[in-house]
Chain A
Amino acid sequence: SQTIHQWPATLVQPVGSPLSLECTVEGTSNPNLYWYRQAAGRGLQLLFYSVGIGQISSEVPQNLSASRPQDRQFILSSKKLLLSDSGFYLCAWTHRGQGADTGELFFGEGSRLTVL
């Protein structure tokens, strides 16, 4: 069966510090991978998606970046965090051949980031 893991689950970072959130998927090959952000009490905002190793598409310009160094690994990074980066970050995947428009999104447990 397929599983998705994110870490860390919770982190508190000062403004200006770097960020690295990691996501791995197991039990499937060539998944489409996504990073979403959810501000408190708000909906899900797509940040990045990837259809393959090294292929990253950005939906929202900001001080965050994403990388996919391996087929089932997706990393969200920042060199300098802003207060507005606080939120609940969710990694998700869909089966290869199924985009987010027709495929079920399988979400990770989420990483709650507080920037102080």
Chain B
Amino acid sequence: QQPVQSPQAVILREGEDAVINCSSSKALYSVHWYRQKHGEAPVFLMILLKGGEQKGHEKISASFNEKKQQSSLYLTASQLSYSGTYFCGTSNNAGNMLTFGGGTRLMVKP
């Protein structure tokens, strides 16, 4: 079943922070985050595995809340280059294929 992402779209000014949520109706095994620029292929950001970990990548980090069956992506001090559509992909069991959410469109303005 497809995970639900929220919000669907967000507009920021440079330097502002944003949080994107990814919720599943089933227990999560792994959560992947990708960013896609318009007309381009998705680019990998990070993977979080079952265990409630948190990961960081420059000013972009993510958390995995096993109990809530949810992952959140945190973008701090946003830059113009952060603009794009962010997708989460979830797997509910080891070996299962990823199911991607509908995406969150992020626009960072000067």
Which residues does A use to contact B, with CB under 8 Å?
A: 41-46, 49, 59, 90, 99-110, 112
Contact = CB atoms under 8 A, between A and B. Distances in A.
Given A101-B91, A102-B47, A104-B47, A44 B41 contact: no
A43 B42 contact: no
B82 interface: no
B102 A42 contact: yes
A101 B96 contact: yes
Nearest to A103: B47
Contacts of A42: 102-103
If over half of B's interface residues share one DSSP class (helix, strand or loop), that class is named, otherwise mixed; here it is loop
B42 A101 contact: no
Contacts of B30: 101-102
User: Which 6 pairs across A and B sit closest by C-beta, in order of nearness?
Assistant: A101-B91, A107-B41, A44-B100, A43-B100, A43-B102, A104-B44
A110 B41 contact: yes
24 contacts: A41-B103, A43-B101, A44-B87, A44-B89, A46-B97, A46-B98, A59-B97, A99-B95, A100-B89, A101-B29, A101-B30, A101-B94, A101-B95, A102-B47, A104-B32, A104-B44, A105-B44, A105-B98, A106-B44, A108-B41, A109-B40, A110-B39, A110-B41, A112-B39
